Amino acid sequence: MSDVVEKTLTALPSLLSLDSQPGSAKLSSTSKLGSLIRGITELTSKHEEEKLIQRELLSIKEQVASPNTTMRQMKELMVRTIYCEMLGYEASFSYIHAIKLAQQGSVLEKRVGYLAVSLFLNESHELLLLLVNTVLKDLQSTNLIEVCMALTVVSQMFPKDMIPAILPLVEEKLNHPKEIIRRKAVLALYKFYLIAPNQVQHIHNKFRKALCDKDPGVMTASLHIYLQMIQENPEGYKDLTGSFVTILKQVVGGKLPMDFNYHSVPAPWLQIQLLRILSLLGKNDPSTSEIMYEVLDESLRRAGMNHNITYAILYECVKCIYTIHPKSDLLEKAAKCIGNFVLSPKINLKYLGLKALTYVVQQDPKLALQHQMTIIECLDHPDLIIKRETLELLFRITNAQNVTVIVEKMLEFLRISKDDHNTIDLVGKVAELAEKYAPDNEWFIETMNTVFSIGGDVMQPDIPNSFLKLLSEGFDSVEEDRKLRLFAVNSYISLLQGEPGKLPQRFLQVISWVLGEYSYLKEDLESAAVLRLLAKLLDMKNSSSETKSWVFMAMTKLCEGTAGVSVAQEVSETYSSSMDTVLRQRAQELEHLSQDSELCAKVLPRGGDREHVEVDSSLSFLDGFVSEALAAGAAPYKPPHQRQEELAQAKVLSLEPYSLSLPISMSSCSITDRQSPTLLSMSSGLSGDSTDLSHKGGSTTLKLDGVKRVWGREGYLSQKEPVEESAQVEVPSPVRSPNQQEEGDSSHSQTPTVTPTLGCEQEKQQLASSLFLGLSTQSPVCLMGKSEPAPQRFRRKAKSLNTSEQISNSLISSPSAVDNLLCNNLLDSSITSEPDLSPPERTTELTTANGTCNTETALTDSGMKGSNPALNRDNSVDATDPPSHEDMDRPKNVCLMSHLPAELCGLAHSEITPLCTNQSLSLSACHVQKEDSLVLVVFINNCSDSDIQQTRIQVDSEDLEVSCVGDSPVEELRSLSVAVCQYSLTVKRPLVNVEVVGMISYQLPVVTTQELQFSYKLPLSSFIRPLMVSTEEYGTMWLAFSNDTKQNLTLISDEQEPLAATLNVLRKKLQLHIVEIIGMEGIVACSLLQDQPCLMHCRVHAGTLAVWLRSPTPDLPDCLIYHCQRALQCH
Amino acid sequence: MIKAILIFNNHGKPRLIRFYQYFAEDMQQQIIRETFHLVSKRDDNVCNFLEGGSLIGGSDYKLIYRHYATLYFVFCVDSSESELGILDLIQVFVETLDKCFENVCELDLIFHMDKVHYILQEVVMGGMVLETNMNEIVAQVELQNRMEKSEGGLSAAPARAVSAVKNMNLPEIPRNINIGDINIKVPSLSPF
């Protein structure tokens, strides 16, 4: 305390002098920061530093609180506070003063204030609201520097809810005459786009204007936005490809002013950004890629100089070339470029080269072969980062023949790496490779043992789960299963006999499960011996209680025979008084089951079929108990959040509107229940906690239901991007050009013939030959004596696989002949359902076919087609009646409309919009609003002269759940006919606009399979339906919902009753239900399809409509408000 | 996106800390400590990129750093940034500092932390690269400095103060600030 007084006293004179002499004040204040810094450097211990800074902060605190402190002194104090905060000492008392400084200071002081605010606070800090007015004022200032400061602070952090307040001002700045202001405004808007995309939806065309700005700096800034938006939705910006290419062309061609050069490279960062955008646009899109080939070639050529930054451009170029639709000569150049990177003596370039190789190696494994010696060298590089990257590359080229060498290298790295992140990642990769390519049982089990002991408790829980699943499900051959399991048992027994104390907990759990399940396979092993080994684990100090309960479970499965039972009894006695309830329960179970062998056999059938075990997660067997308790007067169960809410209501004055008294009515219960993620019924909710408990400790079988399936037969399921795979397929053959083929061959054939001049060199060669084995599939030179490509060893049992595959492939699976016929039949009838538009001859002919619509006609029909396509009836019709073609084209929409399935005809539907067309097919779609669902109708119009076969259409969406309605994935499509597919759509998560993407593949008689991609956008409003509720219900629901948004909307004021008029517009346009209007307030309700209600409270206030939306679904209020805005704007 | 920019000296003392993504105070300190730990044990002949670690934003983040005399300049970025591009951006930033402070040294960064922040604000804004052209950055900073002068001839004061500090014979300073090689050398291109 005396310290403080002393400090204050010493500070006083300087304070006084500050006031009187501003000139010298500056000096002394700076030296105060100086003395602080000097003071800190003098100290020897962290503890002393802490004391000094706390003292300093106390004195600062006193000074900032004093009313006599001038703004200028405040500025100096703030700098010192920033310094203290940087060292990690909190000075929250100063935050409010920082805001005050930004508010009231002159420009210079303001600058410090803003800086302090942006360093101290974060987006969600409550004090930030106080800054909004200051920012508003500064944005309107005539002083450029003030405007700049405001924009900077806005882009650093701004409360999401307050964006609407300043948005118009920031937008205005896009037209500011000063280039720097425009540029900062663009970045601020980008920041808004990142944190609240819905708020800036309406200014997308202004972004375009920024892109076309005459100042290249502003254009560069706008690329940030485009990169982000194109990443989210590449389809939407394909039209800009030309512009980006033109810009890049000009930049590369040196058309920019000289100031944009950096080390005489024109605007390198701009080039990098553009190349990234182009690669996103050209991905999987041949026609767009076509536009950019030339400029990419140009970039590669120009970036020839030997400077760091040109390599940055080259790297992006190469990545772009390998991402977009491939072109052979560009690929060749890019490959050469990658070679330069890999071979470069500069370590940074080598790193990037390896990265690039990793990226392209799936498309072009030959490239790795070319650089095999460099890769080997990188494996022994002293830099761990390089080593790690090399392993990543090797991981991509692993196959059955080189797996042992590669896994060995990975494990070697794992043993020296201490980084958790690396360990988790690599361990997962090793486990994946081991499961995929294991050459034999011993190797597999041993590798997994290493994985478990190294990965320990940091690895992903999927790995042990998937391993145990693999063991328990087994493979096709029973004998193989037995061998694998037996080997595992043997290996674990010997591990337990060694030093089990060093093994990680997860590994011990795996061991105890395997021993519990399969130790009976080892015939010469007494179960009592295993029990004793397991009991040893229980006694170890560092075993966690989770592990102990796994051990207990294993023991329960094993206890038999008198010796076994006695061990079990002993253990269960010790633990039946354990402090841990779970363990106590397990001990009890063990005790009871060990005494009653019959019961034990019933509860834990050995080797039994586990697929029959079902878990009743709703706990319905407790219903009787619950209803009894309820009848006896027990209070119904309420989830915690509801209880809390009620508690809060009881204590505090309710400030919420509509706070009707909340009786514990059935309706409120059901609402909360619906929200609860587990979907437990109310009665089962009563015993919610006990569910958790019974699930926890590891019961008789493994809980693998909820576990994400990461490893499958085909490899790592989740990480492999389907896109990349398709790209791999699409690589045209020229890439594997003959000369590369030769190189690949020679590198292989040369390895054995190399004269062993240097032992080390030879060693490397050997390593190379074993690492890159199996990469050149055309010439399997086998050095290890394995000629045939080893079949994958661990093939999961056919049974379990088939079921899952059937589900996923049901759409694609080729239907049987009968299906085919049925399908044809259906098609015929759908074609002929619009007789008035088709030419007369055709109609009669087809209707006859339709009239007699039996399988026989269809049979002969398809028979004809199969035997002789030239005689195809439709073809002949076209030949005799050419006008029919035009006839079909002109009134297309009307025509298509008539194809709308009868049950959808009377309903509201959107306009039919074309999706995609080529010479043979055209696709269009519309959506129909049914009462309880939204149906997407896709019309497939075959406008060619020939039949299309094997049509497959797939529709999918990130934001929606799509399910096919009806029976017809169309198979065949006659010439000039239309097929209709229906999909029912449900919203997964609300977005302002949702999008469906799809692909149709088909086969023309002559040409091979073709594909067309399409996307269809629809507004969220089409999923909105009125929600019929009474005011009381509304009140109850209002309280239960947690996500809300408030905003002001424009009021339609030209009518008598503005509120009613406005709400009516919303009702008509968005199908909202007006619950009640009282005076200047109104309440409105609607729901997003499938029970996602959203409530809206409107109040007329100062000429605008203040709305407050609430919903249990996050983002729904935001999206709805956007649509309300739109609806009212359009009005 | 640039997630954070950290400058610390060879002993791990922070000289400038700027986060573009929110982290709690103690988390920030931990990030600084761990980053220093990672970066400081690497010699000068290894690559300037560091990957992995779950410090900021998990696997989609890397550290790109440069080491000048007594200071480490570390940029934490996500995958949307070009590695070599950022490496040169650091160079641009340091060269700009050198221009603004005339032969910059660690002391300049300490005593003019606020100024360094203003310069940085012209290079990186809210995590996005705003300007890469050194002359443009210097022009912006000078514009602000002119304003400072017009506010009453104050700008000369801090410079005087620093030169005073620089020239003062400070027996007590050292230990952490190594005066011997305090000048950051700004080679036209540092070893990489």
What span, in angstroms and rounded, lies between the C-alpha atoms of A358 and B49? 17
Q: Are residues A963 and A1042 in the same domain?
A: no
What number is the average pLDDT over the span A998-1016?
76
The answer to whether the Cβ–Cβ distance between B118 and A115 falls below 8 Å is yes
- Which tens digit of pLDDT belongs to each residue from A1035-1065? 888 878 877 777 777 777 777 788 888 888 8
Q: Are residues A417 and A520 in the same domain?
A: no
Residue A743 has pLDDT above 60, yes or no: no
pLDDT at A1094 (0 to 100): 85
Confidence of residue A857 (pLDDT cuts 50, 70, 90): very low
The DSSP letter of residue B4 is E
Residue A312 with chain B: CB contacts under 8 Å: 82-85, 87-88
Q: Are residues A482 and A577 in the same domain?
A: yes
In this complex, which of B29, B52, B175 lies closest to A88 when CB atoms are compared? Answer: B29
pLDDT at A822 (0 to 100): 39
What number is the average pLDDT over the span A315-327?
91
What number is the average pLDDT over the span B61-87?
91
- Which tens digit of pLDDT belongs to each residue from B73-84? 999 998 888 999
Residue B68, SS3 per DSSP: strand
pLDDT at B172 (0 to 100): 34
Q: Picking from A587-601, A689-703, A1054-1068, which range would have the lowest pLDDT averaged per residue?
A: A689-703
Report the CATH number that the domain containing residue A1106 is assigned in CATH: 3.30.310.10
Confidence of residue A650 (pLDDT cuts 50, 70, 90): low
Q: Picking from A8-12, A646-650, B64-68, which range would have the lowest pLDDT averaged per residue?
A: A8-12
Q: Picking from A517-531, A635-649, B20-34, which range would have the lowest pLDDT averaged per residue?
A: A635-649
Residue B18 with chain A: CB contacts under 8 Å: 119
Element (H, E) at A19: helix A2-20
Residue A530 has pLDDT above 90, yes or no: no
pLDDT at A230 (0 to 100): 92
Percentage of the residues of chain A whose pLDDT score is greater than 70? 74
| Interfacial B residues in 16-35 facing A (CB < 8 Å) | 16-18, 20, 22, 25-26, 28-29, 32
pLDDT at A69 (0 to 100): 84
Those residues whose C-beta lies under 8 Å from the C-beta of residue A505, and which sit 6 or more positions away, are: A456, A457, A543, A544, A546, A547
* E strand map for chain B: 2-9, 14-19, 49-51, 62-68, 71-77, 124-125, 128-129
pLDDT at A20 (0 to 100): 36
A76 touches chain B (CB under 8 A): no
What span, in angstroms and rounded, lies between the C-alpha atoms of A275 and A310? 13
A224 touches chain B (CB under 8 A): yes
What number is the average pLDDT over the span B18-23?
89
Which of A367, A390, A422 is the last residue before a domain boundary?
A367
Which of A982, A1000, A1022 is the last residue before a domain boundary?
A1022
Confidence of residue A973 (pLDDT cuts 50, 70, 90): confident
Q: Which domain holds residue A1090?
A: 1024-1130
pLDDT at B148 (0 to 100): 67
Q: Are residues A445 and A356 in the same domain?
A: no
Q: CB of A765 within 8 A of CB of A754?
A: yes
A110 touches chain B (CB under 8 A): no
pLDDT at A50 (0 to 100): 87
Q: Are residues A1031 and A1014 in the same domain?
A: no
Residue A112 with chain B: CB contacts under 8 Å: 114
Residue A426 has pLDDT above 60, yes or no: yes
Does the complex come out with an ipTM higher than 0.85? Answer: no
Report the CATH number that the domain containing residue A928 is assigned in CATH: 2.60.40.1230
- Which tens digit of pLDDT belongs to each residue from A92-143? 899 999 999 999 888 888 999 999 999 998 888 888 888 999 999 999 988 8
Question: Is residue A866 in some structural domain?
Answer: no
Q: Is A1004 or A342 the better-scoring residue by pLDDT?
A: A342
Question: Is residue A158 in some structural domain?
Answer: no
Which range has the top average pLDDT, A712-721, A759-768, A868-877, B73-82?
Answer: B73-82
What number is the average pLDDT over the span A704-731?
40
Choosing among B42, B51, B93, B115, which should be mutated to test the A contact, i.e. which has the most A CBs within 10 A? B51
The answer to whether the Cβ–Cβ distance between B144 and A386 falls below 8 Å is no
Q: What is the DSSP string of A50-96?
A: HHHHHHHHHHHHHHHHSTT--HHHHHHHHHHHHHHHHTT---GGGHH
What span, in angstroms and rounded, lies between the C-alpha atoms of A343 and A483? 47
The DSSP letter of residue A264 is T
Question: Is residue A823 in some structural domain?
Answer: no
CATH no. of B1-148 = 3.30.450.60
Q: Are residues A406 and A479 in the same domain?
A: no
pLDDT at A827 (0 to 100): 40
* Closest of A203, A93, A188 to residue A149, by C-alpha: A188
Q: Are residues A305 and A274 in the same domain?
A: yes
Q: Are residues A1042 and A1013 in the same domain?
A: no
pLDDT at A895 (0 to 100): 65
Q: Are residues A351 and A287 in the same domain?
A: yes
What number is the average pLDDT over the span A19-43?
59
Residue A18 has pLDDT above 70, yes or no: no
Q: Is A297 or B181 the better-scoring residue by pLDDT?
A: A297
Residue A672 has pLDDT above 80, yes or no: no
Residue B7 has pLDDT above 90, yes or no: yes
Q: Which residues of B60-76 are buried (b: 16+ CB within 10 A; e: fewer)?
A: ebbbbbbbbbbbbbbbb
Q: CB of A186 within 8 A of CB of A210?
A: yes
- Count of CB atoms within 10 A of residue A186's CB? 32
In this complex, which of A85, A152, A259 lies closest to B133 when CB atoms are compared? Answer: A259
Q: Are residues A906 and A1007 in the same domain?
A: yes
- Compute the count of residue pairs across chains A and B with CB atoms less than 8 Å apart: 182
The answer to whether the Cβ–Cβ distance between B151 and A347 falls below 8 Å is no
Residue B176 with chain A: CB contacts under 8 Å: 41
Q: CB of A472 within 8 A of CB of A608?
A: no
Choosing among B61, B79, B81, B130, which should be mutated to test the A contact, i.e. which has the most A CBs within 10 A? B130
In this complex, which of B46, B130, B157 lies closest to A26 when CB atoms are compared? Answer: B157
Question: Is residue A449 in some structural domain?
Answer: yes
State how far residue A29 is from chain B, nearest Cα, in angstroms: 10
pLDDT at A607 (0 to 100): 57
- Which tens digit of pLDDT belongs to each residue from B94-125? 999 999 988 888 888 888 888 999 999 999 99
* Closest of A80, A81, A78, A70 to residue A104, by C-alpha: A70
| Interfacial A residues in 261-290 facing B (CB < 8 Å) | 262, 268-269, 272, 276
Confidence of residue A270 (pLDDT cuts 50, 70, 90): very high
Q: Is A1091 or A30 the better-scoring residue by pLDDT?
A: A1091
What number is the average pLDDT over the span A880-886?
40
Question: To which residue do tokens 């009140």 refer?
Answer: A1035
> How far is CA B121 from its chain centroid?
12
Residue A703 has pLDDT above 70, yes or no: no
Residue A49 has pLDDT above 80, yes or no: yes
- The mean predicted confidence, pLDDT, of chain A is 74
Q: What is the count of structural domains for chain A? A: 5
pLDDT at A31 (0 to 100): 64
Q: Are residues A507 and A586 in the same domain?
A: yes
Confidence of residue B89 (pLDDT cuts 50, 70, 90): very high
pLDDT at A755 (0 to 100): 42
| pTM, 2 dp | 0.60
CB neighbour class for A769 (10 Å; exposed up to 12, middle 13-18, buried from 19): buried
A37 touches chain B (CB under 8 A): yes
- The mean predicted confidence, pLDDT, of chain B is 77
Q: Picking from A284-293, A508-517, A643-652, A1113-1122, which range would have the lowest pLDDT averaged per residue?
A: A643-652
Q: Is A35 or A84 the better-scoring residue by pLDDT?
A: A84
State how far residue B76 is from chain A, nearest Cα, in angstroms: 16
What span, in angstroms and rounded, lies between the C-alpha atoms of B88 and A348? 12
Residue B110 with chain A: CB contacts under 8 Å: 37
What span, in angstroms and rounded, lies between the C-alpha atoms of A1087 and A1069? 14
Q: Are residues A1038 and A1105 in the same domain?
A: yes
Question: Is residue A412 in some structural domain?
Answer: yes
Q: Where are the domains of chain B?
A: 1-148
State how far residue A399 is from chain B, nearest Cα, in angstroms: 26
| Token output for A387 | 């080593």
CA count, 13 A, side-chain hemisphere, A323: 20
- Count of CB atoms within 10 A of residue B84's CB? 26
What number is the average pLDDT over the span A1073-1095?
84
Residue B118, SS3 per DSSP: helix
Question: To which residue do tokens 């009231």 refer?
Answer: A104
- Which tens digit of pLDDT belongs to each residue from A340-374? 888 888 889 999 999 999 888 877 778 888 888 88
Residue type, A49: E
